[in-house]
């Protein structure tokens, strides 16, 4: 349930940022894009943001570097019109949303599903468009791809259809929209953004006695910062995933018995590593490797300074920064890079190609993010809201998300419903509690603004 564009501290959106790379222009046929243009200039999409998006789409498709769409050298494939235009959408939506460089903070965190044109979520969110049933149903405001009936089996069985759904581009945009008065019933925040959601003043208490599946949520997740507020539950953990390093075992075999984040700083692989362009999935790693006592706290100028020096070293190492998982995967597949930061889903896709890759469990710790559900104050659909949340915690829903999205479930019951071979292919554990205890839960970044400024300065060579 995570990520598809971020920057301040999140996941994908701005795409590949290659140091000193020439930008090659390419003419892209605009077939289906012209159709989109007609939609944008009429009806509910005839707004200033939508019109701006229309023009930005054309410019972005023309100006997107060819490198951003590279294919593995052993599997050449022609790009069709749809793929060329869709490749530009994440870049466009992140640029329009206050020019925030957001990696999927998951996007769009953070492809959760390999959906064609998943970044159109940004268009829908800008226009206020929704999908689903009538006004008698609650509205879920969240990550693109989560309007899938299989994730809410009990709700669909009872009402015969899904509730209403609106996708956001990233959580920064979503929080801003909620602050400005957007009305939903349920939201899908991730744990490292919870303080910003709660600062809106629109997050309601949740009566967990109405959730039959609440006792099944793992205790380690119930204890996360942000679950409780003044003794009341305000956020329900639903799914989780990891940020670590995916690497080619045939190109860097020495790391198979020595898995460490240090591979990103190894002089041997200078120019052959890549990372997310994000605070939460890149810069805090520099803080960890610099020896800071808390990789999420930069209120002490000395800790910010040590992270700066480590980031300077990393900037000299990386071939590129990118918030697009596909770009990172293609670079790994082609051998252009040996190692890159990634989420679970990327490893799954690379292994399906038969590539010799491994998802590190660094000795310093693998990072874990958690996403869930919160209820908005003043909902008029209380009963159905609780039914929605409870069905998403059900065994069937959690097992389906593991199997189809590759993310971990917040309940052990979800893991128990998945066979051993599937878990192995997805690089997920049989014992999730033991696995989570060995990692590092991502948390809200203290002095986020200062860390973002430092990151921007270092990338600019300052």
Q: Residue 308's pLDDT is what? A: 97
Taking 50 as the pLDDT cut, the residues of the chain under it are 3-130
pLDDT at 362: 95
Give the span between the Cα atoms of 201 and 256, in whole angstroms: 48
Length of the chain: 462
pLDDT for position 2: 52
* Region(s) of the chain under CATH 3.40.190.10: 139-238+369-434, 240-366+446-460
Q: Give the Cα separation of 351 and 353 in Å (integer).
A: 5
Record the pTM.
0.71
pLDDT score recorded for residue 348: 84
Which fold would CATH assign to domain 139-238+369-434? D-Maltodextrin-Binding Protein; domain 2 (3.40.190)
CATH of domain 240-366+446-460: 3.40.190.10
pLDDT at 113: 34
Q: Look at residue 46 in the predicted model and tell me its pLDDT.
A: 35
Tokens of 428: 């997920």
């Amino acid at each position: 349930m995570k990520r598809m564009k971020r920057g301040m501290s999140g996941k994908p959106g701005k795409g590949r940022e290659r140091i000193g790379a020439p930008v090659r222009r390419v003419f892209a046929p605009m077939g289906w894009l012209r159709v989109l243009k007609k939609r944008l200039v009429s009806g509910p999409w005839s707004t200033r943001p939508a019109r701006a998006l229309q023009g930005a789409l054309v410019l972005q498709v023309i100006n997107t570097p060819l490198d951003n769409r590279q294919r593995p050298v052993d599997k050449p494939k022609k790009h069709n019109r749809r793929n060329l235009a869709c490749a530009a959408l994440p870049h466009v939506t992140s640029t329009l949303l206050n020019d925030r460089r957001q990696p999927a903070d998951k996007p769009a965190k953070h492809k959760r599903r390999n959906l064609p044109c998943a970044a159109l979520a940004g268009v829908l969110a800008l226009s206020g468009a929704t999908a689903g049933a009538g006004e008698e149903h609650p509205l879920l405001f969240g990550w693109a791809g989560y309007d899938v009936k299989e994730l809410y089996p009990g709700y669909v069985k009872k009402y015969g259809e899904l509730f209403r759904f609106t996708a956001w581009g990233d959580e920064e945009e979503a929080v801003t929209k909620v602050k400005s008065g957007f009305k939903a019933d349920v939201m899908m925040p991730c744990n490292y953004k919870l303080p910003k959601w709660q600062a809106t003043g629109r997050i309601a208490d949740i009566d967990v006695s109405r959730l039959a599946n609440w006792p099944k949520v793992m205790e380690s997740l119930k204890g996360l910062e942000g679950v409780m507020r003044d003794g009341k539950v305000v956020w329900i953990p639903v799914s989780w995933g990891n940020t670590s390093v995916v690497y080619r075992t045939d190109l860097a075999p020495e790391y198979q018995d020595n898995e460490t984040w240090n591979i990103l700083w190894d002089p041997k692989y200078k120019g052959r590593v890549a990372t997310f362009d994000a605070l939460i999935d890149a810069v805090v790693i520099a803080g960890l490797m610099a020896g800071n006592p808390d990789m999420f706290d930069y209120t002490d100028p000395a800790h910010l300074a040590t992270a700066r020096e480590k980031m300077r070293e990393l900037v000299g190492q990386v071939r590129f920064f990118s918030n697009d998982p596909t770009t990172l995967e293609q670079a790994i597949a082609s051998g252009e890079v040996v190692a890159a930061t990634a989420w679970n889903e990327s490893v799954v896709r690379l292994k399906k190609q038969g590539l010799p890759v491994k998802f590190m469990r660094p000795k310093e710790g693998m990072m874990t993010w958690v996403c869930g559900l919160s209820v908005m104050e003043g909902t008029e659909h209380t009963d159905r809201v609780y039914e929605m949340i409870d069905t998403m915690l059900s065994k069937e829903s959690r097992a389906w998300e593991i199997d189809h999205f590759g993310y971990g479930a917040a309940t052990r019951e979800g893991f128990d419903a998945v066979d051993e071979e599937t878990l192995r292919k997805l690089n997920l554990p049989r014992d999730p509690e033991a696995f989570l205890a060995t990692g590092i839960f991502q948390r809200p970044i203290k002095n986020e603004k200062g860390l973002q400024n430092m990151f921007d300065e270092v990338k600019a060579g300052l």
